[in-house]
Amino acid sequence: MFLPKPVRALALASTVLLIFLLLQLSRKAPPVKEPRVVYPDMKTDPNLEETHEPAGHLWRADDYAVDNPNSPRINASILSLVRNEEVDGMVTSMRDLERTWNHKFNYPWTFFNDKPFSEEFKTKTRAETRAPCYYEVIPKEHWAVPNWINHDLVRESGKILADGGAQYGNMISYHQMCRWNSGMFYHHPALKNIRYYWRVEPKVHFFCDVDYDVFRYMQDHNKTYGFTINLYDDPKTMPSLWPETMRFTEAHPEHLKPDTDTARPWLEDKKRRPEHNEKANGYSTCHFWSNFEIADMEFWRSRAYEDYFNHLDRAGGFFYERWGDAPVHSIALGLFEDKSKIHWFRDIGYQHIPYFNCPNSPKCTGCRKGLFTDGEDFLYKEDCRPNWFKYVGMG
């Protein structure tokens, strides 16, 4: 029987579609990459264990309405250094943190930029929160390359860093950002009356409901610094950072705490990745990944840290090498602060590509428990938490 041409075409398309669907159904799904650890002395990732809130008294979301002048909120703010063109990534981060935490506590957002914020940026970010938003321009003297820095040497060293594969090695704005995050941000006039902060960057994710005031937790439990992810750094970006630090501590032994009270062994470990310690001239390169940090600015404003930062600043390594705020903050905390005042926020699910902190908690969604990275296997060796657990613990 003759079939009209349109009917034959439809029948052929249906047959092709059916074959395609059968082939798709017969294919095996790709295996899910299970969380794992590469170090035999850390037999299981602590994030595979059931995760609870920190012990002790916690402030719940009572009386935290944004218009309540008598709320339990303390002098704290969420902080972000961000450019106008990163507004969509910033909205992503805000949406996650507001959903999981800040819609309950209504702490203000304070945004920093070396240029004035656009109206688009302000409109989009204000739409994501009921809390106040502040838009601050960084003073030129806080952002500019210091006058004692040799610009010819910066260009030459930047080229060497870039040729050696150091990420952002020849991007001067990245060096300026690292310096500002290391020792300038807490001097901004907008933060004069702020003590605690939660640093948030664009394009990060938060996965777990947090039902207590983290700033109150830091204050009530005498914590200085809170982190989620703990990594090794690239030693070729900081060959002189540890030697310069040792020169500072020799000149200022009064700032050091007893080694038994600090995380110094975590800073100096050379057993797990000896090549890092060797290339960084005595520094393990372990650091808190500072794109997430909840901290007490009184530590950065202390005489010990100010003296240390000023010493490093004069040495020039923020520009001649690529000293980052993460290792600078971490070294200072490891030498000048009691290790009991540093807290792992294991209950806060967090991602900054390509790394995760994924707790085992019914309060978390979208984050597979115990996952450290969804990238290639070689990234697992960048995990420095085993050292932290070994030398400090899980507090």
Is residue 201 within 8 Å of residue 80, measured between CB atoms? yes
Nearest to 95 by CA among 60, 126, 61, 117: 126
User: Please, where are the H alpha helices in the chain?
Assistant: 5-26, 87-97, 103-105, 119-126, 140-143, 151-163, 172-183, 214-220, 241-251, 264-268, 274-279, 297-300, 303-315, 317-320, 325-336, 385-391
Q: Which of 293, 321, 337, 382 is catalytic?
A: 293
Please state the length of the chain.
395
Identify whether 293 is a catalytic site residue. yes
Cα 120 to Cα 130: distance, rounded to the nearest angstrom: 18
Q: Is the preceding omega at residue 354 within 30 degrees of 0, hence cis? A: yes
Ramachandran sector of residue 228 (left: φ over 0; alpha: ψ -120 to 50; beta: rest): alpha
Positions marked catalytic: 293
